[in-house]
Amino acid sequence: MTKQRALILILMTVFYSLLAMQPDFPSDPAISPDGTTVCFEYDDDLWLVSFSGGDARRLTATEAGEWGPCWSPDGRWIAFNSNREGVTYPYLIDPTDGSSRLIIAESFSVCDWFSDSANLLCTKYSLAHGNSFFKVPLDGSRPSLIAEIGDRFASLSPDNKSIVFNRRGDPYRESYQGSVAGDLWRLDITSKKYSRLTNTPYTERYPRWSHAQAKAGRNVLFYCASDGERFQVFRVTNGDFSQAQQLTELKDWSARDISVARQNDRLVFEYFNRIWKLDESGRASELQIEIPQDLWQQNIRQERMRNEFSSFAISPDELLLAFRHKYDTFFMPRKGGEVRQVTFSQASLGDLEFLDDNRTLLFQLLDDGRDKLFTVKCDSTSMQVQPLQWFGQDKLAVERFTKDPCGKWVIFYGDERYSGRIAIADKDLANIRPLTVNRPVVSNLAFNPSGDYAVYATTREDVWMRELWLYDVSRDSHRKIMNDDSWISKLTWTADSKSILISRSGGIFRLDLVPRDELELEVDNWKEIFAAETDSVRVIEEERTLDIDLSPEAKEDKTEQAKPAQKEPAKPLDLQILWEGIEKRLYPVVSDTEQYLSVQKVISDSTFWYIAEKRTGERNAELRKINIYGAGGKKEFDLGANIGAVTWVKDTIYYVKDGKILYYNTVKGSKGEIKTEFDYRYDVSLLNTRVFEEVWSRFGLNFYDPNMHGRNWQQQYKLYHPFAQKARSISDIATIVNEMIGDVNSSHTGFYPRRDKSDPSRQQAWMGVELDYATRLPAGIRIGKVYPASRLATLYNIKAGDVITSIDGVDITSQTPVDSLMLDKVGKRIILGYISNGVKKSAVLTGLNWSENRRLFYDNQVETSKETVREMTQGRVGYIHIPSMGSRDYDNFFRDLFRDNADKEALIIDVRGNTGGHIHDRIISLLNKTPYAYSTSRRYSQERIQEPRRAWTRPSIVLVDEGSFSDGEIFPTVYQELKLGKLVGMPSSGSVIGTWEYGLMDGSSMRLPGSGWYRMDGTNMEGNGVVPDILVEISPEDKIAGRDTQLLRAIEEIMKDIR
């Protein structure tokens, strides 16, 4: 009996161990005061595990996200943040029984506890100062402001008299050196004095005080600092950072988000996909966590596809339809019927096209991190997917491909160094060979009807012009036709190969290879009359002279003559081109400023179909016909609004609208639609892996530096791909991607994951005021500032010091969470009760969204700076702030420069906080024009006016700081290089790369930094910010007080130039 029980116990232990799992990517570790228990976040819930390792216990189990746990000093509570209410609020939970409660319905982030275990240190974001420190009572009464400038990663000193926090710094860019590298700062709570503790080339983060050492009279701080490759854990005593002790020698990953036990200095930290610990001896090791629960999650999703077509292809015989739905490829009869799934790898993306056999499909799959070509033949048996054999099969990434109307194929591809390369193939994909082109191809490659010649367009980067080229297939030679200053999107040959139709900057143009007679299409009706008379005479003469031989020999001879001659191989077309003056034979055919026009299909030598699509609104599209001279245009068919995936098969146009495939036959005038419904199943875990592969592929192929800042990108794939295969959520993929891309140490990066959960998200409304949390009133809340352009200021004359007493009838007490009273009220009417000068009043306003409120804040900042400059220079100097570098920003700058500052003797240009764009050259041109003449006008003053007129030739000075970004850095860099004036402020961040947003297969997105910028001496602007001529740092105290010391110094310097 005893042996039987022992066996059962062993079997249960084995089963139990098989059931337990080791979690990947737990985060936010927080250790209990006694160092025995660690709370962490996993799968959006909080868990508890022993410091010695073992089985973890789930503490929360909600559909919402929970994060940022922090133990109270007495160990009774864990504070954390959650979005349970659709907004981020702070909560408390009992670690023993799991009971929880909301602390206050306001957006505070938990940082630390005060030693009384009755108050939290939290941060709250504001437009004026960013994250500010608050003391948040557990009883739900109104929090009080501690200091305006702070950060979430902060630690209260053991005596609660000061706070150490990190300022700036990127957790994933350990190698970054520059003005936004993170530093540690100390705030004295009583005096509100700030002092910088570190000032190294790299970043320091995650400070945590030692409470255990404080009891022994020692001042010890733990923190993380970068060694240039990884964040290591350090300890410093008595604030002497020159003698800081490194506690770890981490090689593979960085330490992040550390937590220290109050009683014994046990320490835990994030270590990529695991949590690690430091015991009292200083030994670092993994915290072994097992989750003895069945954390099964529904990875297999089944959805009903109802007319959700996107990419598709129709076979030449119009019997078979291939399409991509979500992540796989399918076949179905074009006339409707059962849908058959072709792929199950969830890797389908890109183009689809049938071969001439009507059953074989060419399509793209993401395979081992690269876009590759595959074929599949639709038959009644297996439908095997086969890789296409071609020279780039294993090493090149396919960007797209097309099948030309003449039957030839065009493949666009890229490698580790270049994109926009091109290959062509004959019918049935035979003889795939690369074309040697000197620049990336930016248009389609269009063959003439015989397939003997092709045209394509490239972009010349140095002058940003398009180049149109002719390719001779038989000679394998290229010749430039012309340069063009417009964007070329599509090229099409006329049926006689004498002209090329060009979809160009929204219009359609015709380029004649040989001169054409503009009257060639005119019809002379007299010719028909005279031709009939001549033909009848000719017939009579032929009848008179006809010699008929009916002998058997003659019949035999005629039979021999009737046999068809053996077909000889077609000779290449001898294309006629008059090269002289060819660029002058570019003629407009049709244009419309309100519509985009695109050539679709040539009908004959003289007419073609084109689509006209509205540029704005619902983007309604029409199919139209016109001849090559722009005459005879007429509307054929209304395609509808927001159409896509247009394709032609013979005389029928197919396209997608509202998820359905619609078609219209231009000969019969018939129309119809293709609809389908079927169940589609996909694996979420496999999808997440595919998203990682797509990120790796797109980033590697598009990053501006093919050497990837010294990283072996293929090795990065091998390193991180196994983790992606084990990821449980898209959030895990985000962690992996951020780590991988962070290794490259580049700006302008970002991964924005899809939202798998439909978490309730509630929007807060704003009023155009800043509330005063520094003082607590028994009733109401005092207004700290009112933005001058707000409705409350302009209509009701509400000012700083007035007290808001109610919002929509809810009285405000010291226990009232004001944020929650403004939820879900954007764009809605709000009734405000307030007291001004001792008088109770009411106001009505419309709830502002965040952007509208920020605009009021920004306008107030700019007006304040303008007024400062005006007062201190007696109106002699102008001021313009440029917030970003878009076209509208240039228009505003141009207007302000000549409307508001034409009479000024000098100008201050402020690009602090500039988020970038593409207009630096246009602004520099206004500041760098050299006068070359004078002009006068009898009608006006007859005074001599300097030419060019709209140019700034007076002194100027530029303000720049750590927040100047991208093109906001290029402008001051060029300004300095051209010696147009002085720069004042702080070095910019060195974040200078051209970037764009890229949508991924699952709805996630990422930023692709694709173009670099360099100074004339070859210095890369990325990683090397512009250094001002005069360095002025705004201290936290000055920022809080509103003292703009950088602006004041700029005023001082510019006044020297005009005295």
Nearest-5° Cα angle at 67, 66 to 72: 110
Whether residue 69 contacts residue 78, with contact meaning beta carbons closer than 8 Å, is answered with yes
Q: E-strand spans in 151-306? A: 154-156, 162-167, 183-188, 193-196, 204-209, 220-226, 231-237, 245-246, 256-260, 267-271, 274-278, 284-286, 289-290, 300-306
Bridge-based pairing state of the strands 906-910 and 956-960: parallel
Tell me how far apart the alpha carbons of residues 1019 and 1002 are, in angstroms, rounded to a whole number: 38
Tell me how far apart the alpha carbons of residues 487 and 505 are, in angstroms, rounded to a whole number: 5
Tell me how far apart the alpha carbons of residues 664 and 648 are, in angstroms, rounded to a whole number: 10
* Cβ-Cβ contacts under 8 Å for 736 (sequence gap 6 or more): 692, 720, 723, 724, 727
pLDDT averaged per 10 residues in sequence order, the chain, 1059 residues:
52 48 95 98 97 97 95 98 95 97 97 98 97 97 97 97 97 97 98 97 98 93 97 97 96 97 97 96 94 79 94 97 97 95 96 97 95 94 92 92 96 85 94 92 92 95 92 96 94 96 95 92 77 55 43 45 52 85 96 95 94 91 96 95 95 96 96 95 96 97 95 97 96 97 97 84 95 93 97 97 98 95 97 97 98 98 98 98 97 97 97 97 95 86 85 96 97 98 98 95 95 95 97 98 98 95
In this structure, which amino acid lies at residue 492? T
* Cβ-Cβ contacts under 8 Å for 241 (sequence gap 6 or more): 197, 198
CA dihedral (126, 130, 132, 136) in degrees, to 10, reads: 50
CA count, 13 A, side-chain hemisphere, 60:
27
3-class secondary-structure state, position 656 = strand
Residue that is written with structure tokens 């009464």 in the block: 141
Which pLDDT does position 74 carry in this prediction?
98
Whether residue 967 contacts residue 988, with contact meaning beta carbons closer than 8 Å, is answered with no
Whether residue 206 contacts residue 183, with contact meaning beta carbons closer than 8 Å, is answered with no
The region, left, alpha or beta by phi > 0 then psi within -120 to 50, assigned to residue 1055 is: alpha
Tell me how far apart the alpha carbons of residues 273 and 339 are, in angstroms, rounded to a whole number: 41
3-class secondary-structure state, position 854 = helix
Taken in order 277, 283, 284, 290, is the CA torsion positive or negative? negative
Which pLDDT does position 462 carry in this prediction?
87
The string of DSSP codes covering 110-164 is EEEE-TTSSEEEEEEEETTTEEEEEEEETT-PPPEEEESS--SSEEE-TTSSEEE
Question: What burial class does residue 617 get, using C-beta atoms within 10 Å of its C-beta: 0-12 exposed, 13-18 middle, 19+ buried?
Answer: exposed
* Cβ-Cβ contacts under 8 Å for 271 (sequence gap 6 or more): 250, 253, 254, 255, 256, 286
896: DSSP letter: I
Which pLDDT does position 822 carry in this prediction?
97
- Walk me through the domains of the chain, giving residue ranges and CATH numbers: 21-290 (2.120.10.60), 683-752 (3.30.750), 769-848 (2.30.42.10), 876-990+1025-1058 (3.90.226.10)
Residue 242's CB: how many other CB atoms inside 10 A?
5
Which pLDDT does position 546 carry in this prediction?
39
Tell me how far apart the alpha carbons of residues 155 and 170 are, in angstroms, rounded to a whole number: 19
Which pLDDT does position 571 carry in this prediction?
65
The region, left, alpha or beta by phi > 0 then psi within -120 to 50, assigned to residue 970 is: alpha
Whether residue 741 contacts residue 733, with contact meaning beta carbons closer than 8 Å, is answered with no
Residue length, the chain? Answer: 1059
